[in-house]
Structure 1
Amino acid sequence: MEANAKLAQLPTLSENNDLAEEQVASFQTKGHILLRGVASAQEVSRYEPVIEQFVRQHNNHTLPVDQRDTYGKAFIQVGNIWAQDEAVKRFVLARRFAKIAAELMGVDGVRIYHDQALFKEPGGGHTPWHQDQVYWPLDTTKTITMWMPLVPISEEVGSMTFVDGSHSSGYMSRQFISDESHKTLGSYIAGKGLTTTNYGAMAAGDATFHAGWTLHSAPGNPTDKMREIMTIIYYADGTRALEPDSSARESDLKNWLPGIKPGEIAASPLNPLLFIR
């Protein structure tokens, strides 16, 4: 009873945040957008302690930051929290967030791929240039990630940096997040003279949304405060699973689309429909 009472007191996050046509057009052109106040500071403050506690309890890092490899230095990473905690479930499966994702992509319905807490520790390293969708066995370009700070993040920690319009190029590199991806893709960006956007400081409850093929990176954390980020990945309802062409996609198919075979509609019990027009 006590747990149910606490759950009932959490914000439902069901109210609409309506988007302007210009915002949708900007996202579809650039492959990314910053939206202020997707959740209020008060709403986020109710969920932050729950998510923070879960991440702390499930942090698998055993080495100090400076003794890890580049990927390990980038963040504490915990996924599919919604399936393990009822309070986080209310946050992650929120209709408000899913509706924004659907409208930005221009689709009628969206399912969740998975959530992921990405906490960058004080002294944590940069996140190398990469495309998210190299990991995902999803046969669609209609994928999007919401990246929301649970605490204010300063200019020096900042948002991610996005390469404008890079989502329209699709598969640019088979490299996963690594020193090699940062060097190779960084050279490509410089050589092509591609334009980038960094949104700087963000308040708790602000959010960026970026397409699955949008090339992006993130700076390290030189501050003494944890950078607490919650991400939610969505894809268009009706999407089919791909035949995995890498060990990473094979792992993702098993973990995030359990029971789904290549060619089938990507709609396992872990991928509920969160919004439909």
Structure 2
Amino acid sequence: MSKTFESSSELNSDYSLTEQQISSYQENGHVYLKNVASKEEIAEYEPIITDWVLKLNYHDKPVSERDTYGKAFIQIGNLWEKSEACRRFTLARRFGKIAAELMGVDGVRIYHDQALFKEPGGGHTPWHQDQIYWPLDTSNTITMWMPLVPIPQEVGTMTFANGTHKLGYVNKQEISDESHKTLAQYIEAKQFPTVNYGAMSVGDATFHAGWTMHCAPGNPTDNMRKVMTIIYVADGTRIAEPDSKARESDLRSWLPGCKPGDLAASPLNPLVYSNKI
């Protein structure tokens, strides 16, 4: 652990959701919320998260020489294990309570966090469904996607396909050129409306369901697009039998020591909110 982190914000105060926001999420599979964290709060955490991302960046080739997935972002998981500050951010009660209330469940555990930093000149993030990677026997999963820097229109945020979270598996293609083509054709053929929330401010957030189809544009600017994401799963969820190499890998990485049928509650999956406590 790093040295003691002095913070004026524990990120534990409540964020009040409206019934319309909850119903919109449940109908469409995504929602955009303003000021989930204040600019002052993010100003405390952003430099520390950025420092860890750059320290742990595994890319050893220029963006132009990577494959589509590699061009999309620097992806660093479970930062909450690295420092006290990252731990406070990822395990924040405020964020977990929002996730639980949007899904309509009693409590949530962390599946894992991910910093997703799209470099200057970084490529697009292809259409995909997150949950093809997750060996979880539930549809009650949700990801918070929060900018740590302002995201202008020209950089762009995610585009979501409304209602696709209700479909479950559509195909098992991992994030790739193939997933982008296949799902784009599917969305167009089925005439699912798509939504992009445009520019986003520091501390705003989108929340989307694990099965919601989504993509993101590339970064044509000279500035790093810094985003922190946290994936939540409903407390009480059990682990599904992995049916792909991706899910076998996730089981080892994010649910260590667990096996199919067990509760998704390893030491890496702490309970961050429960309305019963």
- The offset of 1:149, in angstroms, is 0.2
Partner of 2:197: 199
> How many angstroms apart in 2 are the aligned matches of 1:189 and 1:268?
36
- How far residue 8 of structure 1 moved from its aligned partner, in angstroms, is 3.1
Q: Which amino acid aligns with 1:251?
A: S
Task: Please give the secondary structure, in 2, of the residue aligned with 1:17.
Answer: coil
Count of aligned pairs between the two proteins: 274
Deviations 1:175-206 (A, max 9, x none): 00000000111111112222100000000100
The Cα offsets for residues 33-86 of structure 1, whole Å up to 9 and x where unpaired, read as: 000100001100110000000000000001000110000000000000101211
Partner Cα separation in structure 1 for residue 218 and residue 173 of structure 2 = 20
Matched, 1:251 2:249: yes
* Aligned partner of 2:264 among 260, 266, 269: 266
Equivalent residue number for residue 43 of structure 2: 45
What's the counterpart of residue 144 of structure 2? 146
How far the C-alpha of 1:10 sits from its partner, in A, is 4.4
Question: Which one of the candidate residues 202, 210, 213 is aligned to 1:212?
Answer: 210
| 2:148 aligned with 1:180 | no
Question: Distance between the aligned counterparts of 2:13 and 2:229, measured in 1?
Answer: 19
Q: Which structure 1 residue ranges, 4+ long, deviate > 3 Å from structure 2?
A: none
Match of 1:31 among 29, 34, 38: 29
| Maintained 8 Å contact 2:81/2:87 | yes
- Report the TM-score when normalising by structure 1: 0.98
Alpha carbons 2:110, 2:269 under 8 Å: kept:
yes
Q: Deviations over 1:156-175 (max 9, x none)?
A: 11220000010001111110
TM-score scaled by structure 2?
0.98
Q: Which letter does structure 2 place at the counterpart of 1:158?
A: G
1:136 aligns with 2:139: no
**1:173 aligned counterpart, secondary structure:** coil
SS at match of 1:33: strand
1:109 is aligned to 107
| 5+ long unaligned stretches in structure 1 | none
2:36 is equivalent to residue 13 of structure 1: no
Kept in 1: contact 2:255–2:264 (CA 8 A):
yes
Match of 1:158 in 2: 156
Per-residue Cα deviation, 1:71-125 (whole angstroms, up to 9, x for no partner): 0000000000101211100011000000000000000000000000000000000
Supply the AA of the counterpart residue of 2:13: E
Identity across aligned pairs (percent)? 66
- The unaligned stretches of length 5 or more in structure 2 are none
User: Per the alignment, do residues 44 and 243 of structure 1 end up closer, same or farther by CA in structure 2, a change over 3 Å counting?
Assistant: same
| SS of residue matched to 1:38 | coil
Residue 133 of structure 2 contacts residue 246 of structure 2 at CA under 8 Å; is this kept in 1? yes
Aligned-residue RMSD, C-alpha: 0.9
CA distance in 1, matches of 2:7, 2:175: 39
Listed as ranges, the matches of 1:64-79 within 5 Å are 64-79=62-77
Shift of 1:3: 2.9
